[in-house]
Each structure stands twice: as C-alpha cells, then as structure tokens.
Amino acid sequence: MIPMAFEYHRAASVEEAIRLLEQYGPDAKVLAGGHSLTPLMKLRFAQPAHVIDIGRLHELRYIREEGNVIAIGALTLHRTVAESATVRQRIPVLAEAAFRIGDVQVRNMGTIGGSLAHADPAADYPAVVLALEAEIVAQGPAGRRTIRARDFFRGPFTTALQPNELIVEVRVPVPSGKTGSAYQKYPHPASGFAVVGCAAVLTVDAETCRDVRVAFTGVATQPFRDTVVEDALRGQRADEATVRAAAEKAAEGVQPLGDAFASAEYRRHMAKVYARRALLQALTRAT
C-alpha cells in the first residue's frame, strides 16, 4: 500500500527535531532507521501528517566507554552494536542480541534508539537492557533526563518518553566480578521477532549465585523482569540443577500473549525452556 500524504522534515540537529515535535505535536512522527515506522505507514496503521527524519544526525552514532559504563548513541546501527569490539568484550549479551535482530538489511539500517522508542513487545533489545539494568537518556525542551530501563516500558508500543522527547543515548553498566550473560530467542520464522526471548545476567561468587537478572520479550504485552525466577536462584548454589529448578518458575503470574502462531500456553512453556537455556549459558560463561 501507499502511505497517506505527509510533509517531510529533515532535522539538522537534535534541538531542531525537538522544536519540530513541539510545533506539530501528535501529528508528527520521528523517523530514525525507518524499519518500524515505514511499514506502519504503508499499511496505514500510522498516518502522521509530518515525518521528522533524524537519520542523518551523526552525532548520535557512537559507542564510548566511560569508566564502568558503555554509552551508545541512539542512532547507532544494530550492525555496529553487533560488531563493536567494545560491546563484544564488555557487554557481550548486547552484541549477541543485536546480531539476532531481523536480517542483514534491518541490521544495516535499524537503530538501537529507534527500536527502544518503538517498544515492540517482541523486539530483542528490551529484554537485554532490562537484564543489564541500562539507562535511557531522553532529551526534550527542558533538557536531558535519564530513565531506568525498568521504568521505560509502559505497555505495548508505549514508553515513558514524552511526546516532545527523543532518545539520545543508551547507557549500559559493565557487569563486574564473575558475571556471565546470554540472550536466547525463539524467532518467528517470517518476521524474526521473538516469539520468546530471554536475557540472563548471572554473577557467581564462591559457587553461589550472588546476583541474577532475567528478562523476557515476546511473552507478554511488554518486556518484563522475571523476579520470581531471580528470587528462586539468588543466593542458591550455582549449578545446573538449581538453574533448571528456577527456570521452571518462568512467567509465573504473567498473562502470556496468544496468537495464531503461538498460544498463551505454548509461550508459557517456551518461557521456561528459554529461561533454562539462557541461564545455563550465562552460568557457563560466569564460571
């Protein structure tokens, strides 16, 4: 299909993009990599009167190590995240997830900030930023503010961003100690989105699980931390039997999505399977 007619604006700076968002309000949409907005416009699920293109704001394309934090510009491509030596060495689970997004074309155009702002319930990054306890930096007319990942996702395609704000940076703390991480995903065979995706970050000390973070995407209407699994594993012996037992509690108290491809019951079962796989891989990498 052909999108509805719209007026195109190419922002020359973050500040100009914010001014345009303020000017056009709910009639405006931001275009970053285009792999989320463009299909919605073609299907006429989205019909913005104004499209604000920020894709050429190269100041938002970077990966920097700042002490114990990796700062990633919002317009950094998935391919760049996946191939970055800094990311692969310091926060490998993020590179792992980026490499599994969509296909080559999507990874060559899609951006980390665009993906997070779109907040698709089956996107890959949300589970990983939740498990890594990342922070999302937004900029609006009043300046910048930092939003914890756990507070960012509010529902399907809904975030804590204000209508006149842009994501400008993602800040990821580097795990310390004997920490292993992993992202395991069951991709939809057509779209590549996660039917079930699980990110696990596990810190081991003296053969004990001192800290554990588990997050899911694809399972429910929004990504979430699975605190039931975390509580079942934290402080316990770091071995395969304990991990398997904890993974059996995955998605307890959560209403899974159900659709023509995967029923709610099937997603709940697969959440246990992928929690086990991600945790066991993280355990191996931690020890």
In this prediction, residue 220 carries a pLDDT of 97
* 63-66: strand order across its sheet: 63-66, 69-73, 166-173, 135-140, 143-148
Residues 159 and 221 in one domain: no
Position 266 scores a pLDDT of 97
Q: Is residue 165 situated within a structural domain? A: yes
Single residue among 173, 193, 222 that ends a domain in this structure: 173
For the whole model, what pTM was predicted?
0.95
Q: How many domains does the chain have?
A: 3
* Same domain as 169, residue 66: yes
Instruction: Please tell me whether residues 233 and 193 are part of one structural domain.
Output: yes
How many Cβ atoms are within 10 Å of 88's Cβ, its own excluded? 16
Same domain, 125 and 162: yes
Strands (E) across the chain are located at 7-10, 28-31, 50-53, 63-66, 69-73, 135-140, 143-148, 153-155, 158-159, 166-173, 179-187, 194-205, 208-217, 224-225
pLDDT at res. 131: 98
Q: What is the pLDDT along the chain (287 residues), one digit of tens a residue?
A: 788 899 999 999 999 999 999 999 999 999 998 878 888 888 888 899 999 999 999 999 999 999 999 999 999 999 999 999 999 999 999 999 999 998 898 999 999 999 999 999 999 999 999 999 999 999 999 999 999 999 999 999 999 999 999 999 999 999 988 999 999 999 999 989 999 999 999 999 999 999 999 999 999 999 999 999 999 999 999 999 999 999 999 999 999 999 999 999 999 999 999 999 999 999 999 97
Which of 124, 73, 115 has its CA nearest to residue 95? 124
Identify the H or E element spanning 162: none
Choose among 205, 231, 216: nearest CA to 268: 216
pLDDT of residue 24: 95
Check residue 28 and give its pLDDT: 94
8 A C-beta contact, residue 254 and residue 224? yes
Check residue 34 and give its pLDDT: 85
- Rg, Å, the chain Cα set: 19
Among residues 125, 143, 173, the one where a domain terminates is 173
> What residue numbers bound the domain in which 235 lies?
179-286
Report whether 268 contacts 251 (CB < 8 A).
yes
Q: Which long-range contacts (CB under 8 A, 24 or more apart) does 161-165 make?
A: 161/117, 162/138, 163/21, 163/25, 163/26, 164/18, 164/21, 164/22, 164/140, 165/18, 165/21, 165/138, 165/139, 165/140
Same domain, 65 and 167: yes
Q: Is residue 2 part of a domain?
A: no
CATH number of the domain within which 45 lies: 3.30.43.10
Q: Give pLDDT, residue 2.
A: 85
Measured CA angle at 192 (ends 165, 214), to 5 deg: 70
Has residue 121 been placed in a domain? Answer: yes
Residue 232: inside a domain: yes
Query: Quick check: is 1 in a domain?
Result: no
The answer to whether the Cα torsion of 77, 91, 101, 128 is positive or negative is negative
* Of 98, 127, 118, 92, the residue nearest 217 (C-alpha): 127
What residue has token string 């491809």?
261
pLDDT of residue 221: 96
pLDDT at 198: 98
Residues 162 and 100 in one domain: yes
- φ and ψ at 7, to 5 degrees? -100, 130
Query: Do 216 and 114 share a domain, yes or no?
Result: no
